[in-house]
Amino acid sequence: MKILSKLSIAAAAALMTTAVFAANPDVGGAAMFENKNIVENAVNSADHTTLVAAVKAADLVDTLQSAGPFTVFAPVNAAFDALPAGTVDTLLKPENKDTLTKVLTGHVVAGKVSAADLVSKIKQSKDGFYHFQAVSGDALSAQMRGRKVYIYDESGNASLVTIADVNQSNGIIHVVDKVLLPK
């Protein structure tokens, strides 16, 4: 009986240690730290340099460093590169700050929504989609195709969640492969 008790305690300790110290996935070749905020982590990702430049141009750094919590669907550089030629350069111009802000806040949801939360809400829905709203006011939807989660913008464009559940001190990031655009 003493052996079983020691094994149970050791197994429980190992399980708790694994859960507590489970590492965030790397993003863009960089470690992501749960004790850093969204901006502090994003600046280290080689895959998010365009997003970081856009966040700076839209003056959203302070917002995304605040307490939140926020859920950010973070498009990779290739997602911005896939937009029509000149789109990013145009959005980054000071005179287009309002449009840039609308596009970027269309990737942000108030609160911390994990991949498990998204899947649960999708499964509870009647139409196979979880419908929710970005802080920009734009409608977003999540759907599962097989084991993959896609986020849809108002025009019905789908963006695949390629890396889920990157925990931050002020929320969570899900890396996506397309830019979500307002209608």
DSSP for 102-162 reads HHHHTTEEES---HHHHHHHHHHSSSSEEEEE-TTS-EEEEEEETTEEEEE-TT--EEEEE
Low-confidence ranges of the chain (pLDDT < 50): 1-21
Q: Secondary structure of 55-73 in the HEC alphabet?
A: HHHCCCHHHHHCCCCEEEE
Give the pLDDT confidence score for residue 99 in this predicted structure.
93
Tell me whether residue 106 is in a domain: yes
Identify the domain containing residue 53 by its residue range. 23-176
Tell me whether residue 9 is in a domain: no
Question: Which are the contacts of 174, defined by CB distance < 8 A and separation ≥ 6?
Answer: 71, 72, 73, 74, 115, 149, 151, 161, 163, 164, 165, 166
Provide the 8-state DSSP code for 101.
H
Q: Which two three-digit tokens encode residue 136?
A: 């920009």
Provide the 8-state DSSP code for 96.
G
Tell me whether residue 131 is in a domain: yes
Tell me whether residue 17 is in a domain: no
**Would you tell me how many other CB atoms lie within 10 Å of the CB of residue 168?**
26
Give the pLDDT confidence score for residue 118 in this predicted structure.
93
Give the pLDDT confidence score for residue 5 in this predicted structure.
40
**Would you tell me how many other CB atoms lie within 10 Å of the CB of residue 54?**
21
Tell me whether residue 64 is in a domain: yes
Tell me whether residue 149 is in a domain: yes
Query: How far apart are the C-alpha atoms of 98 and 75, rounded to whole Å?
Result: 19
Alpha-carbon distances of 118 from 3, 69, 139, 153, rounded to whole Å? 41, 16, 15, 15
Domains of the chain: total: 1
pTM for the full model?
0.84
CATH code of the domain containing 42: 2.30.180.10
Tell me whether residue 18 is in a domain: no
Give the pLDDT confidence score for residue 4 in this predicted structure.
39
Residue-wise pLDDT for 46-55, tens only, equals 888 899 899 9
**Can you spell out the DSSP letters for 125-138?**
SSSSEEEEE-TTS-
Tell me whether residue 78 is in a domain: yes
